[in-house]
Structure 1
Amino acid sequence: MRATDLGDFRVDRRMLLIALIAMPVGALGAAAAWVLLRLIGLVTNLCFYGRFATDLVAPGGVAHPWYQILLVPVAGGLIVGVMARYGSEKIRGHGMPEAIESILTRGSVVEPKVAVLKPVSAAVSIGTGGPFGAEGPIIMTGGAVGSILAQHLHLTADERKTLLVAGSAAGMAATFNSPLAAILLAVELLLFEWSPRSLVPVCASVAVATIVRAPLLGSGPIFPVDTHGVVPTAGVDALAVVIGVSGALVAVVATWLVYRAEDGFARLPIHWMWWPAIGGLIIGAGGLIEPRALGVGYNVIDDLLTGRATTDLIVGILVVKTLIWSLSLGSGTSGGVLAPIFMIGGALGAAVGLVMPGVFPGFWALLGLAAVVGGVMRSPLTGVVFTLELTQAWSAALPVLIASATAYAISVLALRRSVLTEKIARRGLHLTRDYSTDPLETFFCRDIVHTDPDSIALAQSVPAECVLGPRDTLRHAAYVMAENQLDHVAIVDDDSVVGVVRLSDLLVARRHDLTEATVRDRTLRFMVGRNG
Structure 2
Amino acid sequence: MPHRLLSLEHFRHRLAHADALPQLVVLGVLSGLVAGGLISLFRSADGLLQFWLLPGGSEQFENLPTLHRLLLPVAGSLVLIALFMAIPAHARSVGIVHLLERLNNQQGRMPGLNMLIQGVAALVALASGHSVGREGPAVHIGGAASSLLGQRLNLPNNSLRLLVGCGSAAGIAAAFNTPLAGVIFAMEVVLLEYTLIGFLPIMVAAVVGDVVVRLTVGEAIVFTAPDVSINTLTELPLVILLGLLTGLLAAGFHHLQMQTLRLRHWSIPTRFLLAGALTGLVAVYWPQVMGSGYDTIETLFNGQLPLGILFGLLLAKCLLTPVIIALGIPAGLIAPTLFIGAAAGALLGGLGALITDLPHTGVYAMLGMGAMMAALLNAPLAALLALLELTHNTGIILPGMLAIVVANLTTRFGFGLPSIFHASLQRQGLDLRQAPLAQILSRAAVGSLMRRDFCHTPAVLTHAAARALLDSGPYWLLVDSDARRFLLPPADLRQYLETLAEGVADTDTLDLLSIPAQRIDIEPLLYRATLKEALDRMQQQQLQYLLVISNREAPMGLISRQQIEDYYHQKQSVS
The TM-score bracket by the shorter chain reads 0.7 to 0.9
Q: Which whole-Å CA distance do the structure 2 matches of 1:116 and 1:187 have between them?
A: 25
Q: Which whole-Å CA distance do the structure 2 matches of 1:204 and 1:94 have between them?
A: 26
CA shift in 2, pair 1:56/1:91, >3 Å: farther
2:36 corresponding residue in structure 1:
30
Paired residues for 1:438-453 under 5 Å: none
2:119 corresponding residue in structure 1:
119
Please state whether the residue corresponding to 2:322 is helix, strand or coil. Answer: helix
2:256 counterpart of 1:257: yes
CA shift in 2, pair 1:192/1:439, >3 Å: closer
1:58 corresponding residue in structure 2:
60
Aligned sequence identity (%): 23
Paired residues for 1:317-396 under 5 Å: 317-356=313-352, 357=356, 358=358, 360-396=360-396
Task: Tell me the C-alpha RMSD between the 2 structures.
Answer: 3.6
CA shift in 2, pair 1:104/1:233, >3 Å: same
Q: Which whole-Å CA distance do the structure 2 matches of 1:148 and 1:89 have between them?
A: 20
Partner deviation per Cα, 1:229-251 (whole Å, 9 max, x = no partner):
x5643222333110110001100
Q: Which whole-Å CA distance do the structure 2 matches of 1:343 and 1:436 have between them?
A: 40
2:422 corresponding residue in structure 1:
421
CA shift in 2, pair 1:378/1:359, >3 Å: farther
CA shift in 2, pair 1:154/1:121, >3 Å: same
2:346–2:361 contact (8 Å) kept in structure 1: no
CA shift in 2, pair 1:36/1:316, >3 Å: farther
Stretches of structure 1 that go unaligned for 5 or more consecutive residues are: 1-6, 441-462, 465-474, 488-500, 510-532
1:377–1:420 contact (8 Å) kept in structure 2: yes
2:176–2:220 contact (8 Å) kept in structure 1: no
2:505 corresponding residue in structure 1:
none
Q: Which whole-Å CA distance do the structure 1 matches of 2:48 and 2:220 have between them?
A: 23
CA shift in 2, pair 1:342/1:29, >3 Å: same
Partner deviation per Cα, 1:89-137 (whole Å, 9 max, x = no partner):
4665771111101100112111112232211100101110111000001
CA shift in 2, pair 1:187/1:379, >3 Å: same
1:13 to partner: Cα distance? 6.2
Which sits farther off after the overlay, 78-87 or 88-97?
88-97
Which sits farther off after the overlay, 386-395 or 340-349?
386-395
2:17 counterpart of 1:15: no
Q: Which whole-Å CA distance do the structure 1 matches of 2:130 and 2:295 have between them?
A: 15
CA shift in 2, pair 1:170/1:69, >3 Å: same
Which sits farther off after the overlay, 356-365 or 88-97?
88-97
The TM-score with structure 2 as length reference comes to 0.70
CA shift in 2, pair 1:234/1:113, >3 Å: same
The TM-score with structure 1 as length reference comes to 0.76
Please state whether the residue corresponding to 2:165 is helix, strand or coil. Answer: helix
Q: Which whole-Å CA distance do the structure 2 matches of 1:167 and 1:502 have between them?
A: 32
Q: Which whole-Å CA distance do the structure 1 matches of 2:359 and 2:302 have between them?
A: 12
1:59 to partner: Cα distance? 1.2
2:527 corresponding residue in structure 1:
none
CA shift in 2, pair 1:360/1:32, >3 Å: farther
Which sits farther off after the overlay, 69-78 or 249-258?
69-78
Larger radius of gyration, structure 1 or 2?
2
Please state whether the residue corresponding to 1:11 is helix, strand or coil. Answer: coil
Q: Which whole-Å CA distance do the structure 2 matches of 1:506 and 1:297 have between them?
A: 50
1:425 to partner: Cα distance? 0.8
Paired residues for 1:364-513 under 5 Å: 364-413=364-413, 414-432=415-433
Partner deviation per Cα, 1:445-483 (whole Å, 9 max, x = no partner):
xxxxxxxxxxxxxxxxxx89xxxxxxxxxx99x98x979
2:94–2:118 contact (8 Å) kept in structure 1: no
1:273 to partner: Cα distance? 4.2
2:484 corresponding residue in structure 1:
none
Paired residues for 1:156-167 under 5 Å: 156-167=156-167
- Aligned amino acid, residue 256 of structure 2: L
Partner deviation per Cα, 1:360-390 (whole Å, 9 max, x = no partner):
4511111111111111111111111111110
CA shift in 2, pair 1:10/1:506, >3 Å: closer
CA shift in 2, pair 1:502/1:77, >3 Å: closer
1:92–1:332 contact (8 Å) kept in structure 2: no
Partner deviation per Cα, 1:303-349 (whole Å, 9 max, x = no partner):
11223544354223201112221211111111101100010110000
Partner deviation per Cα, 1:173-203 (whole Å, 9 max, x = no partner):
0111111111110001111322233322111
1:275–1:332 contact (8 Å) kept in structure 2: yes
2:295 corresponding residue in structure 1:
299
1:72 corresponding residue in structure 2:
72
CA shift in 2, pair 1:247/1:14, >3 Å: same
Partner deviation per Cα, 1:184-226 (whole Å, 9 max, x = no partner):
1000111132223332211111011122232334447532322
1:147 corresponding residue in structure 2:
147
2:139–2:169 contact (8 Å) kept in structure 1: yes
Paired residues for 1:213-292 under 5 Å: 213-219=213-219, 222-228=222-228, 230=229, 232-266=231-265, 268=266, 271-292=267-288
Please state whether the residue corresponding to 1:355 is helix, strand or coil. Answer: helix
Partner deviation per Cα, 1:382-417 (whole Å, 9 max, x = no partner):
111111110011111011111111111110131443
- Aligned amino acid, residue 243 of structure 1: L
Q: Which whole-Å CA distance do the structure 2 matches of 1:309 and 1:398 have between them?
A: 26
Please state whether the residue corresponding to 2:351 is helix, strand or coil. Answer: coil
1:72–1:128 contact (8 Å) kept in structure 2: yes
2:465 corresponding residue in structure 1:
none
Q: Which whole-Å CA distance do the structure 1 matches of 2:568 and 2:159 have between them?
A: 30
Q: Which whole-Å CA distance do the structure 2 matches of 1:45 and 1:9 have between them?
A: 45
CA shift in 2, pair 1:359/1:435, >3 Å: farther
1:173–1:206 contact (8 Å) kept in structure 2: yes
Which sits farther off after the overlay, 118-127 or 304-313?
304-313
CA shift in 2, pair 1:504/1:378, >3 Å: closer
Please state whether the residue corresponding to 2:60 is helix, strand or coil. Answer: coil
- Aligned amino acid, residue 233 of structure 2: A
Q: Which whole-Å CA distance do the structure 2 matches of 1:437 and 1:398 have between them?
A: 36
CA shift in 2, pair 1:508/1:128, >3 Å: closer
CA shift in 2, pair 1:80/1:370, >3 Å: same
1:28 to partner: Cα distance? 2.5
Q: Which whole-Å CA distance do the structure 1 matches of 2:564 and 2:123 have between them?
A: 53
2:87 corresponding residue in structure 1:
87
